[in-house]
Structure 1
Amino acid sequence: MARIYLARHGETDWNRLGRFMGQQDIPLNARGKSQAQELGERLYGVGFGACFTSDLTRAQQTAEIVLESLGSDLVPVRDVRFREIDGGRFEGLTREEQKASYPHEFQVREAAKSQGGDQRIPFPGGESFSEMVSRALGGLDDIARLEARGPVLVVTHGGVIQAVLSHILHLTRDSLDRMTIANGRATIVDWSNSGETAQILGINI
């Protein structure tokens, strides 16, 4: 079993504006860099044995700041499986802009979500929540097999952390939308057996 700290990257300007980033490569803003520094301070003394990060800039920047704050010489390993969901043509748009620009696709997703069935519906030109769940869990399984000397830090995205929690807790997408995964905060899980016996130790610490 591996103890994994799933950290969401710090804030970006698109976070602040309510724009759906998906896999667009948006860097941290000043507040996001401060959040990463504060996260490192909160995690001081954990003694991480390895660090993995999404290959997107905002996650890499967060990982570097956290490790520097910890005084760690770990080198973050980039893993595309910890990328945010591919939002296709919805990326870069606010929720209202999505609705205005793609009314049919938006309505299909909203209707399915209300019935708990949108997990397999891909974003137009992108991927589905189920596809993101599958790749993220595969990444965690590989980490669990590493037997790292200490807990493992994974710097990733809000959607990925939601994916992990949905798998452990068997939550619907509608339920997940009521759960905030904060920028610059970490969720701690003990992970093994593809999450079948996983335990959640903390959210948004």
Structure 2
Amino acid sequence: MVNIYLVRHGKTMFNTIGRAQGWSDTPLTAAGELGIIELGLGFKEKGIKFDRAYSSDSGRTIQTMGFILSNSDNEGIPYKFDKRIREWCFGSFDGGYDGELFDGVLPRIFAENGMINGSFPEDEQIANAIYAVDTAGWAETWEQLSGRILEGFSDIAEESVAAGAKNIVIVSHGMTIGSFVKLVRPELPRPHGLDNGSVTHLTYENGQFTVGEIGDMSYRALGSEKLKEK
């Protein structure tokens, strides 16, 4: 069995000013770096030793992983990038303000197509609506998006099993993590608003993912306390 610590990257410049990041990228802010230092120290305090590390190929996840490994005494372990666990691609809306897309364009598309029923739209509806209005032709259909997310995480888990890993850390993105949890556990509510530096716990055994605590902030809280003691 593989224990998976799935982390949302640290807070970035675009996160701070409310822009849709997607496949575009900005670095962690000073506050974002501090939050991930706390996370690494929390892992260290719990004595968690990782056998392998994985992240998307986005700069913000790579930067986050560096802070995690150096502050948790896990430097030097095998580490790979995988573009399949990138954030959703927002196409021509990448880098635009969140409100412009999520409070403006998408609700209008849903209303025009009779898709508003009082509940939060499903990922499939959101992805296909973004695909429909993307003028650049970069956005993904839900079939493409869900396929690469599930394939990416599944291949990472299988590779870790083959390597005999017991504990792995993965750094990915808020919407991608939420989609992945819903894909492997469709009966659960879809996680929204995962905090930067939060940890979602999973295990993988016999080809199946089990989802534990989602969006756990206890490691960051523990690391914050250790910093105050210095």
1:1-205 counterparts in 2 under 5 A? 1-44=1-44, 45-72=47-74, 73-98=76-101, 103=105, 107-109=108-110, 112=115, 114=117, 116=122, 118=125, 121=128, 123=130, 124=134, 125=137, 126-146=139-159, 147=161, 148-170=164-186, 176=190, 179-192=192-205, 197-205=208-216
When residues 187 and 53 of structure 1 are mapped into structure 2, their CA distance, relative to the original with a 3 A threshold, is: same
Q: Report the 3-state secondary structure (helix = DSSP H, G, I; strand = E; otherwise coil) of the residue aligned with 1:153.
A: strand
**RMSD of Structure 2 on Structure 1 (CA):** 2.5
When residues 204 and 81 of structure 1 are mapped into structure 2, their CA distance, relative to the original with a 3 A threshold, is: same
Query: Contact 1:85 / 1:129 at 8 angstroms: preserved in 2?
Result: no
* Distance in 2 separating the partners of 1:201 and 1:98: 31
Percent of residue pairs identical:
27
* Distance in 2 separating the partners of 1:85 and 1:135: 10
Query: Contact 2:51 / 2:78 at 8 angstroms: preserved in 1?
Result: no
* Distance in 2 separating the partners of 1:80 and 1:15: 20
Q: Report the 3-state secondary structure (helix = DSSP H, G, I; strand = E; otherwise coil) of the residue aligned with 1:7.
A: strand
* Distance in 2 separating the partners of 1:4 and 1:99: 31
* Distance in 1 separating the partners of 2:165 and 2:99: 46
Query: Contact 2:11 / 2:196 at 8 angstroms: preserved in 1?
Result: yes
- Structure 2's unaligned 5+ residue stretches are 217-230
Structure 1 residue 189: Cα displacement? 0.6
When residues 129 and 5 of structure 1 are mapped into structure 2, their CA distance, relative to the original with a 3 A threshold, is: farther
One-letter code aligned to 2:174: G
Q: Report the 3-state secondary structure (helix = DSSP H, G, I; strand = E; otherwise coil) of the residue aligned with 1:121.
A: helix
Structure with higher Rg: it is: 2
* Distance in 2 separating the partners of 1:122 and 1:74: 40
When residues 151 and 184 of structure 1 are mapped into structure 2, their CA distance, relative to the original with a 3 A threshold, is: same
TM-score by length of 2: 0.76
* Distance in 2 separating the partners of 1:158 and 1:99: 15
* Distance in 2 separating the partners of 1:131 and 1:122: 14
When residues 128 and 112 of structure 1 are mapped into structure 2, their CA distance, relative to the original with a 3 A threshold, is: farther
